[in-house]
């Protein structure tokens, strides 16, 4: 009796409809290709001169931005390996709020280098081990590259220094103005212990028209609508916040009323009117001069509120209502009636302003410290305003990161070039097959300065050769071949002439040479520390960690098994005519 041999691999193993991609079919190489595609999509958007992308999402909304986090959020990536990179980028956005592009680009480059090694014949396990060792060394090296620190969190100048580079990558040319604005807003809400700083306390209101220079910071909250009644301004007022409708309550059952004459008709609404009048009188007597409603406001209550001289505004977003309660110190009430003294809030100024044709209501606290600050942004188009908002958002998130670690490293690709140099030296000293992976890991960092130079229209090869020269030439006096820095420092200290000490001070941060995207002196390189191009060390280290982890995870996958989609009718799609009246 002959054995029945199945015609296809795994033929009787899975249910019909399964798809199986194995290592023999080149699953690893295909995964790397998918990841490289997603990396090349956002790579051109890296840096201040990075290109914008137009993404039209599933709701047919157009998004124009160079922000990698936004691009990836709007693209629906379905390839499982590429999804791992997107998840790493989202984690960076959640943790640090910046350098999402660095994670994707670096992970994509690490995988490209790994592909070269796989084609040479290295096993993925050797590459993964080499990458792990190189990552540990890279994070240690990063600690040594500190050039500056945010000494005083409450200094506008110190805070702007750290925010400036982050904002410049999204809004080049406006970085000084925006960095100062973000720093001013942060200082207005910074609590006694900076570690308790909440990113949600900085709000943004976008008003079209005018230019970016007309933007300003308001200590308090700004709502894009005017009050409902005729009272438009209040000062030093008590505030009551209601999450319920300000109207007469409707009965649950319907009733029929028989009216016999005109007098009956006149008397019919008297009860309602007197009830509303009593409630509004209670509000006025309790000292309330501003009423905030989280739902509808009836015409009858509005009439009596106007007569009582009470400003009334409708805020339909429950999140905005909560934030306003935090600003004025009020408790939102679910019943209509006079609040208790501890349920009332207070505000210094509520006023209606006209900004560029739009009327807005401002709740402002005059004292130094406030719970919420709002940036009123002006711009020509909605897309530009959205992009400025993303730059502001990144700047605010960086302040949160500063509260964890205030150390700064040189930007403009200088840190990456130094990592190429130092990790490459580690590869030279490492025995065995691991050295190939470590050397490739080092060369992957070259992608950052190369991309910066290419997006600025410079000759990338020439700029990189200058950077390599600058980062190598001063290595010899700093560190002898055995890497024994201590002996070198002792030798310098013993030098009676003092020349070595002077040189040491002069060349203190000799690794700060980075890419000059404006190419002012024609060389394409600059001193990043001198030009104030500084990145947060903690953001860089998180990006390196997440990019390496993502690359190692993709390399560890040797098989993908895709189940057939569940049967049954398809879920209803979005209505194609959703925006028509």
Mean pLDDT of the 451-476 span: 76
pLDDT in tens, 67-104: 778 888 888 887 888 888 888 888 888 887 778 888 88
- Percent of the chain at pLDDT > 90 equals 0
pLDDT at position 505: 40
**pLDDT beyond 80 at 151:** no
- Pick the residue with more confidence: 25 or 216? 216
pLDDT at position 230: 80
Contacts of 16 (CB under 8 A, 6+ apart): 564
pLDDT at position 575: 66
Q: What is the DSSP string of 403-471?
A: HH--EEEETTTHHHHHHHHHHHHHHHH--STHHHHHHHHHHHTTHHHHHHHHHTT--HHHHHHHHHHHH
pLDDT at position 409: 84
pLDDT at position 425: 84
pLDDT at position 476: 42
**pLDDT beyond 80 at 519:** no
Across the chain, mean pLDDT equals: 77
Say what the pTM is.
Answer: 0.77
**pLDDT beyond 60 at 400:** yes
pLDDT at position 577: 65
Give dist(CA 52, CA 50) in Å, integer: 7
**pLDDT beyond 60 at 25:** no
pLDDT in tens, 539-554: 888 888 888 888 888 8
pLDDT at position 207: 83
pLDDT band at residue 357 under the 50/70/90 scheme: confident
Residue 452 corresponds to which tokens in the numbers above? 């910066």
pLDDT in tens, 244-286: 777 776 666 677 777 788 877 777 767 777 777 788 788 788 8
pLDDT in tens, 108-129: 888 888 888 888 878 888 888 8
In three-state secondary structure terms, 229 is coil
pLDDT at position 13: 65
pLDDT at position 486: 41
pLDDT band at residue 512 under the 50/70/90 scheme: confident
Parallel/antiparallel/unpaired status of strands 373-379 and 202-208: parallel
Mean pLDDT of the 388-411 span: 83
| C-alpha angle 106-109-111 in degrees, rounded to nearest 5 | 110
45-80 in b/e form (b: 16+ CB < 10 A) is bbbbbbeebebeeeeeeebebbbbbbbbbbbebebe
Mean pLDDT of the 485-491 span: 44
Mean pLDDT of the 343-371 span: 78
pLDDT band at residue 142 under the 50/70/90 scheme: confident
Phi, psi of 307 (to 5 degrees): -65, -35
Give dist(CA 540, CA 121) in Å, integer: 32
Mean pLDDT of the 217-240 span: 80
Mean pLDDT of the 346-360 span: 79
Mean pLDDT of the 165-187 span: 82
pLDDT at position 250: 64
| Extended beta strands in 82-137, E state | none
pLDDT band at residue 5 under the 50/70/90 scheme: very low
pLDDT band at residue 474 under the 50/70/90 scheme: low
């Amino acid at each position: 009796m002959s054995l029945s041999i199945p015609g296809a691999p795994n033929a009787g193993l899975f249910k019909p409809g399964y798809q199986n991609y194995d290592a023999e079919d080149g699953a690893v190489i295909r995964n790397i290709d998918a990841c490289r595609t997603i990396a090349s999509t956002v790579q051109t958007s890296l840096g201040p001169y990075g290109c914008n992308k137009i993404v039209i999402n599933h709701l047919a909304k157009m998004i124009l931005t160079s922000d990698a986090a936004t691009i990836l959020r709007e693209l629906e990536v379905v390839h499982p390996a590429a999804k791992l990179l997107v998840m790493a980028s989202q984690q960076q956005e959640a943790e640090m709020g910046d350098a999402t592009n660095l994670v994707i680009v670096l992970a994509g480059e690490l995988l490209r280098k790994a592909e070269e090694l796989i084609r040479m014949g290295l096993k993925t396990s050797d590459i993964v081990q080499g990458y792990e060792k190189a990552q540990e060394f890279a994070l240690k090296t990063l600690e040594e590259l500190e050039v500056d620190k945010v000494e005083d969190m409450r200094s506008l100048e110190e805070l702007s220094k750290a925010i400036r580079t982050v904002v410049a990558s999204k809004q080049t040319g406006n970085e000084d103005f925006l960095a100062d604005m973000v720093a001013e807003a942060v200082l207005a809400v910074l609590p006694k212990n900076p570690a308790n700083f909440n990113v949600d306390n900085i709000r943004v209101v976008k008003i079209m028209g005018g230019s970016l220079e007309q933007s300003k910071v308001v200590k308090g909250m700004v709502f894009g609508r005017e009050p409902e009644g005729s009272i438009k301004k209040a000062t030093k007022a008590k505030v009551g916040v209601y999450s319920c409708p300000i109207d007469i309550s409707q009965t649950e059952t319907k009733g029929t009323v028989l009216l016999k004459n005109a007098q009956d008709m006149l008397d019919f609404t008297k009860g309602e009117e007197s009830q509303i009048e009593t409630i509004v009188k209670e509000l006025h007597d309790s000292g309330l001069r501003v009423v905030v409603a989280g739902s509808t406001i009836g015409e009858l209550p509005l009439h009596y509120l106007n007569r009582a001289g009470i400003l009334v505004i409708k805020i339909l977003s429950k999140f905005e209502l909560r934030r306003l309660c935090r600003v004025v110190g009020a408790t939102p009430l679910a019943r209509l009636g006079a609040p208790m003294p501890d349920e009332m809030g207070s505000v210094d100024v509520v006023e209606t302003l006209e900004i560029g044709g739009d009327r807005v209501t401002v709740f402002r606290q005059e004292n130094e410290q406030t719970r919420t600050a709002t940036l009123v942004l002006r711009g020509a188009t909605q897309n530009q305003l959205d992009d400025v908002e993303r730059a502001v958002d990144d700047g605010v998130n960086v302040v949160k990161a500063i509260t964890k670690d205030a150390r700064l490293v040189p930007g403009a690709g200088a840190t990456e070039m130094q990592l190429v140099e130092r990790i490459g030296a580690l590869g030279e000293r490492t025995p065995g097959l691991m050295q190939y992976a470590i050397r490739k890991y080092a060369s992957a960092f070259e992608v950052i300065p190369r991309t910066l130079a290419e997006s600025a229209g410079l000759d990338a090869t020439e700029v990189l050769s200058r950077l390599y020269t600058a980062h190598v030439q001063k290595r010899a006096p700093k560190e002898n071949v055995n890497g024994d820095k201590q002996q070198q420092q002792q030798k310098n200290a013993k030098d009676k002439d003092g020349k070595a000490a002077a040189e040491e001070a002069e060349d203190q941060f000799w690794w700060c040479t980075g890419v000059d995207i404006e190419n002012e002196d024609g060389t394409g390189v600059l001193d990043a520390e001198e030009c104030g191009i500084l990145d947060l060390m903690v953001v860089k280290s998180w990006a390196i960690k997440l990019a390496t982890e993502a690359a190692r995870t993709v390399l560890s996958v040797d098989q993908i098994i895709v189940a057939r989609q569940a049967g049954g009718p398809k879920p209803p799609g979005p209505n194609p005519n959703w925006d028509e009246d």
